[in-house]
Amino acid sequence: MRKIFTIFLACSSYTVFAQHAQFARVHDVNHTRNTTKQPATDITTWFGRVGVGYAFTQAGQVNSLYGVPYSGNVSYDNTGATINSFDYKKASLNSGVNATIAAGRMFGPHIGLELAAQFNIAPASYTYNAHNITINNTLTDLSIKQQGKFPIFLIPAAVFQTQVAAKLQAYGRLGLVLPLNTKVKISLSETDATGSTAYTAEQSSNFSLGFNGALGVKYEVGSNLKLWFEFNVMSLSVYTKKEEIKSYTDNGQPIPLYQLSSTSTTYTFSGSNSNPNNGTGPQATSSVPFSNAGVMVGVSMRL
């Protein structure tokens, strides 16, 4: 049903944009002749833009797989049975420094289409520390660090803009988010009375469609150049597909991966553990938060 809505919207939008372009061609010739409101450079033109900004966790999650928090601390008592104190925070693996590069076409003075690529060039990392947690009947200090591994998204969007002052335009953008890379790096370490183990792993996810919106202003600094500033949001959760161990150490000594009984775990929406007692079958998937709200600045130019 959601796919039908998306297809319907895409088809309708195409029709409207085509109609609008035709209408604007006729209307705006007269419009620009009669008023100085809209610079002629914005009517039916190709444009490019680049920008950089920072995104904060929005609509994030507290817990990851198996109810383990992404970020925070917990301390159990000496029996490992009772939590003395905890401090958990929300997380989104797409928080951090984002860069964007985009190109698009305006079909008149007010609406256009754009295709952007967004890169999280410095993703925020989240650490969960548990003191005296019981693992395999042993009191353990556990630390798990998770960080997005250079998340990349393609964002086709509809653009709306209007003149608000001589050189100032307000604009809005709404589009789909097609995640190209949502891998997550995991570093886990466990220390108990007998020693310590640690591993690094990489978690990949199923493809999920998200949504992106922005509201901003553009200021004309030259005939073909504009500075822009925007507030943007992304709504996206992906679902864990696979976790693969990349390195493993036992008391600081590297262990070759072939010596491990298993180096990967698959996660699915439904499944059956053929041998549940050894826990090697597929596990129930869990959502991984990539939503954010952020600000971005940049320049756009007429192509």
Partner 1 sequence: MKKLFTLILACGSFSLFAQHAAFMKTTHTSLPPKKKTFPNSMWYGRVGIGYAFAQNGQTMSAYETPYNGSLHYVNNGGSTTLGDFEVKKASFNTGVHAIVAGGYMFDHHLGLELAGQFNIAPYSYTSNSYNYLTGGYNANINILSKAKLPIMIIPSFVLQSGEQGLNIYTRIGLVLPVNTKVEKSYRVDYLAGGPNGINNKEYTLEESSKFTVGYTGALGLSYKTNKVKFWAELNVMSLSVELKEQKVTAFANDGHPVPLQYVTPGTIEYIQSGTYSKNAEPTYSVPFSYVGGIVGLAFQL
> Per CB under 8 A, which of residues 259..288 are in contact with partner 1?
269-273, 276-277, 279, 283-287
Question: How near is the Cβ of 23 to partner 1 at its closest, in Å?
Answer: 8
Q: Which of residues 178-217 bind partner 1 (CB under 8 A)?
A: 210-211, 213-215, 217
Hey, which residues between 234 and 253 contact partner 1 (CB under 8 A)? Answer: 234-237, 239
Both tokens of 151, joined, read 């998340």
Rounded Cα distance, 25 and 97, in Å? 39
CA distance 164 to 17: 23
Is 38 or 246 the residue whose CB approaches partner 1 more closely? 38
Compute the C-alpha angle 124/130/134, nearest 5°: 140
Q: At its nearest, how many Å lie between partner 1 and the CB of residue 174?
A: 5
Distance of alpha carbon 285 from alpha carbon 152, whole angstroms: 22
Check residue 133 for interaction with partner 1 (CB under 8 A).
no
Q: Considering the rule CB under 8 A, would residue 9 count as an interface residue with partner 1?
A: yes
Binding residue for partner 1 (CB under 8 A) from 26, 30, 33, 34? 34
Closest contact distance (angstroms) between CB of 294 and partner 1 is: 8
Task: Tell whether residue 135 is a contact of partner 1 (CB under 8 A).
Answer: no
Parallel, antiparallel or unpaired: strands 96-106 and 83-89: unpaired
Candidates 10-18, 128-136, 141-149, 198-206: pick the segment binding partner 1 (CB under 8 A). Answer: 10-18
SS3 sequence of 128-184: EEEEEEEECCEEEEEEEEEEECCCEEEEEEEEEEEEEECCEEEEEEEEEEEEEECCE
Most distant pair of Cα atoms in the chain: their distance: 84
**Does the footprint of partner 1 cover residue 296 (CB under 8 A)?**
no
Size of the site for partner 1 (CB under 8 A): 84
Residue 214 CB, nearest approach to partner 1 (Å):
7
Rg (alpha carbons) of the chain, rounded to whole number: 25
Contacting partner 1 within 156-185 (CB under 8 A): 158, 160-166, 168, 170-174
Report the residue number, 186 or 238, with the smaller CB distance to partner 1.
238
Q: Are strands 237-250 and 195-206 parallel, antiparallel or unpaired?
A: antiparallel
Taking the least distance from each CB to partner 1, the nearer of 81 and 252 is 81
* Piece in contact with partner 1 (CB under 8 A), picked from 18-26, 42-50, 187-195, 196-204: 18-26
For partner 1, the closer of residues 235 and 249 by Cβ is 235
CA 58/CA 245 separation, integer angstroms: 29
Non-local CB neighbours of 133 within 8 Å, separated by 6+ positions:
74, 76, 80, 139, 140, 141, 142
Using rule CB under 8 A, residue 29 touches partner 1: no
Query: Contact with partner 1 (CB under 8 A): which of 83, 121, 180, 297?
Result: 83
What's the min distance (Å) between Cβ of 195 and partner 1?
Answer: 25
Our finding on whether 256 is near partner 1 (CB under 8 A) is: no
78 binds partner 1 (CB under 8 A): no
Q: Which residues of 223-243 are buried (b: 16+ CB within 10 A; e: fewer)?
A: eeebebebebbbbbbbbbbbb
- Does the footprint of partner 1 cover residue 123 (CB under 8 A)? no
Tell me how crowded residue 39 is: count the other CB atoms within 10 A of its CB.
Answer: 15
